[in-house]
């Protein structure tokens, strides 16, 4: 199955927005923990708030990586590539790599325990 490079570019623009929302969410959690007003509401009675904060920082940076990468791919496909057909296989590889990177960040924490 093939898609045009222009329609594929908008797919990556959508991924950019989704990853940017995740970045803002995880970053806001880590920033709010440092203010005394929200600290008790967010952490509550957690056993290990430091590892929770480190995991959220890591997730925010991974989300930032995928949002920047998606924006770069969008710009390349939209403005620098001649419109042609592109295989969906490349999109599936991109999604698998993104999911594996998120899963590996969670597995690393379990290995340390």
Region 77-93 average pLDDT: 87
Residue 85 per-residue DSSP state? E
Neighbours of 80 (CB within 10 A): 8
Rg (CA), the chain: 18
Rounded Cα–Cα distance for residues 18 and 12 (Å): 10
Res 67: pLDDT: 94
pTM for the full model? 0.78
Question: For the chain, what are the domain ranges?
Answer: 2-112
Per-residue pLDDT tens digits for 24-74: 998 888 877 766 665 555 666 666 667 777 788 888 899 999 999 999 999
């Amino acid at each position: 199955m093939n898609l045009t490079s222009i329609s594929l570019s908008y797919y990556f623009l959508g991924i950019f927005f989704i990853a940017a929302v995740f970045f803002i969410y995880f970053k806001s959690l880590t920033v709010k923990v440092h203010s005394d007003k929200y600290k008790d509401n967010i952490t509550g009675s957690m056993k290990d708030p430091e590892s929770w904060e480190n995991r959220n920082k890591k997730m925010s940076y991974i989300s930032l990586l995928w949002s920047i990468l998606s924006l770069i791919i969008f710009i390349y496909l939209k403005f620098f590539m001649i419109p042609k057909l592109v295989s969906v296989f490349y999109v599936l590889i991109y999604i698998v790599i993104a999911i594996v990177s998120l899963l590996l960040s969670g597995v690393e924490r379990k290995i340390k325990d």
